[in-house]
């Protein structure tokens, strides 16, 4: 893995990606980082042995540029990078909502761009990263992006037209589960359990259910029915969820997330 890769705007996700790449076999000497604060860049150098550089230096030196700044900061970053990015550089964007055309219009003609929507489980090597090719990106470019993001979890190729939906489902997805665990923990306290015991019960149940969904090959309806006895406790709980419109609320919530992703793409920050 002798190609140089630069992570620009190295926050939590960028750092998780660096850490995963090193564990997967990338040499720290081939990894460059940029950060807004000099002390942050030095922290990454001390922790991983990577090389802090400026954004223009990264553009001139690295074979692949991974842009992990916030969507509202991407335009400013591209203005800084554009004079220094040759057309043969692979540019990977990790910014929610921003289409590959946004980058292609601001960089040299023919620059290959790959769009990736990952999520915070990258911090524990369980990310779901969704990958789409821009106009000039080849299958080799996409495979390289898969190799990089595969270091921190699973990857999935989709047409770029599906990226906003994927952002709603998996990009924001962990927050929905955290929200559900928070609500269930409160319910456990209401039912008389200490918070720590309620938390442990719910977290292990969530892990077990997720593994069953992943490994069994069964439809979630079938798995739910296996827990739902006639006139039992579970069906009474399901009835209340339906009475309170939880299914409809989830659908509406994901539509709202998708719509916000589209707004980001149109520049409505």
What does the angle CA 186 – CA 175 – CA 237 come to, to the nearest 5 degrees?
45
Which three-class secondary structure state does DSSP give residue 182?
helix
Angle separating helix axes 38-48 and 12-24, nearest 10 degrees: 20
Write out the two tokens for 220.
């979630």
- Please give the chain's pLDDT, 269 residues, in tens: 468 999 999 889 999 999 999 999 999 999 999 998 989 999 999 999 999 999 999 999 999 999 999 888 999 999 999 999 999 999 999 988 899 999 999 999 999 999 999 999 999 999 999 999 999 999 999 999 999 999 999 999 999 999 999 999 999 999 999 999 999 999 999 999 999 999 999 999 999 999 999 999 999 999 999 999 999 999 999 999 999 999 999 999 999 999 998 887 776 66
pTM across the whole model: 0.91
Cα separations (Å) of 260 from 97, 107, 165, 201?
8, 25, 10, 34
Predicted local confidence at residue 62, as pLDDT: 96
């Amino acid at each position: 893995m002798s190609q140089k890769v630069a992570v620009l705007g190295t926050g939590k996700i960028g750092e998780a990606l660096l850490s995963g790449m090193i564990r997967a076999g990338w040499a720290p000497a081939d990894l460059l980082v940029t950060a807004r604060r000099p002390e942050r860049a030095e922290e990454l150098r001390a922790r991983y042995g990577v090389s802090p550089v400026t954004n223009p230096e990264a553009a001139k030196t690295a074979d692949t540029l991974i842009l992990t700044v916030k969507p509202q900061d991407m335009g400013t970053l591209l203005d800084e990078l554009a004079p220094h990015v040759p057309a043969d550089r692979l540019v990977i964007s990790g910014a929610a909502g921003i289409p590959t055309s946004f980058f292609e219009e601001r960089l040299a003609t023919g620059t290959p761009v790959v769009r990736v929507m990952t999520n915070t489980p990258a911090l524990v090597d369980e990310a779901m990263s969704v990958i789409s090719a821009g106009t000039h990106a080849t299958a080799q470019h996409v495979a390289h992006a898969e190799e990089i993001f595969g270091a921190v979890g699973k990857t999935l190729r989709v047409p770029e037209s599906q990226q906003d939906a994927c952002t709603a489902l998996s990009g924001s997805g962990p927050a929905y589960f955290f929200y559900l665990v928070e609500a269930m923990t409160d319910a456990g306290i209401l039912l008389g359990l200490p918070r720590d015991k309620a938390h442990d019960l719910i977290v292990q149940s969530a892990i077990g259910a997720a593994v069953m969904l992943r490994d069994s090959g069964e439809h979630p309806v079938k798995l739910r029915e296996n827990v739902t006895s006639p006139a039992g406790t579970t069906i009474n709980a399901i009835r209340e969820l339906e009475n309170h419109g939880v299914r409809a609320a989830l659908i509406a919530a994901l539509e709202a997330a998708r719509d916000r992703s589209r707004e980001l793409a149109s520049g409505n920050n």
